[in-house]
Amino acid sequence: MRKIIYLLLFPLVSFSQTSLDSIDYFFKQKQFEKAEIQLKAYLNKHPKNLKAIELLGDAFGHQKKWDETIENYKQLVDANLQNADYHYKYGGAMGMKALTVSKLTALGMIGDIESAFLKAAELDSKHINVRWALVEYYMKLPGILGGSKSKSLKYAYQLEQLSKVDGYIAKGYIYESDNESDLAEKYYKLAITDGGSLWSYEKLTTFYEKQKQPEKALANLQVAKEKHKRNDLEYQMGKIAAEYNIELQKGVQCLQTYLKNYSPKDNVPKAWAHYRLSQIYAHNKNKEAALKYIDLALAESPEMKSFKQEKIKILKL
């Protein structure tokens, strides 16, 4: 549920009030504490502004303050029982809290989480995110508590009517979770065939990695790179080469390209590319080059445990 529910924490911010103009900037800069402070100040003067209450809930959620997040979203639900997004966010916040508490406490939250999601789906027949949440919710919930593959598939079929790609990926997720790898691969490939989105390629790549099929993962990333021209795909290819000790020369080329074209918008810090290069050179028994790159990684992130462990391994070569 974790990954799907995080969709609720990325709002589209549009306020006309001058005093809230900076909120959009704070969210984009991931300065959620500053957003929280400004929103609280605004709500002291405008306590019934639902958009401000929603954004404060979002700011709390980004900081994993789940009790405060739940409280804010509950205010929204109470203020407008017919708003599907409010029910979805309320259920999502409870779901995130349930991941952090004892199993007994989480058990007592299940009914409220499910009710919130189902209400959102009932209110909005085209709400994609809540149907994704229900797909994942019913697959993760034990059968004795109401979890069900058939219930998940019900919402995957609904997703397919709204977006074929979402429907195919949802089915791929369901079959992967149920250890039906052939069907999972089929639907992930259908998602690529239908839309060819980067998301589709990422899902199939991750599936291949979980299935311990790195050669297929690399081949899939190569096609994705040719289509989408994304620098972070260079890193992903280098990562797989380093982790699985395959196509090492290609891995070096990809990581060097990633570093050459690196920009702040790339998702992976340069330190990790240096770390992967050190792994590749260690595979090749090139101790000098491996030390060079692990030292670069440690210079950027000196406390990273995996970097420290890698250097110890290299020194033993």
Which residues, 6 or more positions from 20, have their beta carbon under 8 angstroms from its beta carbon?
38, 39, 42, 52
Does 116 fall in a domain? yes
Q: Any residues with CB less than 8 A from the CB of 16 and at least 6 apart, and which?
A: none
Q: Are 182 and 118 found together in one domain?
A: no
Same domain for 175 and 205, yes or no, is yes
257, two tokens: 């390209």
What pLDDT digit, counting tens, does each position of 223-281 carry?
A: 999 999 999 999 999 999 999 999 999 999 999 999 999 998 898 999 999 999 999 99
Same domain, 315 and 225: no
Task: Confirm whether 61 is domain-assigned.
Answer: yes
Number of domains in the chain: 3
Q: What is the mean pLDDT of the chain?
A: 93
Contact by Cβ (8 Å): 54, 89: yes
Same domain as 225, residue 251: no
CA 27 to chain centre: 17
- Do 21 and 37 lie in one domain? The reply is yes
In a domain, 130, yes or no: no
Question: Tens digit of pLDDT for each residue in 91-145?
Answer: 999 999 999 999 899 999 999 999 999 999 999 999 999 999 999 999 999 888 8
Query: Do residue 61 and residue 24 come from a single domain?
Result: yes
- State whether 178 and 197 are in the same domain: yes
Assigned domain for 137 exists: no
The DSSP code sequence of 52-67 is HHHHHHHHHHHTT-HH
* pLDDT above 90 for 2: no
Q: 192, 207, 229: which is the final residue of a domain? A: 229
Do 82 and 13 reside in the same domain of the chain? yes
Helix (H, G, I), strand (E, B) or coil at 120: helix
Range of the domain at 248: 232-317
- pLDDT confidence of 55, banded at 50, 70, 90? very high
* pLDDT the model gives residue 270: 97
Q: Same structural domain for residues 2 and 118?
A: yes
pLDDT at position 15 over 60? no
Residue 20's pLDDT is what? 63
Six token digits for residue 59: 């700011």
CATH number at residue 101: 1.25.40.10
Q: Once rounded to an integer, what is the mean pLDDT over residues 271-292?
A: 97
Do residues 311 and 272 both lie within one domain?
yes
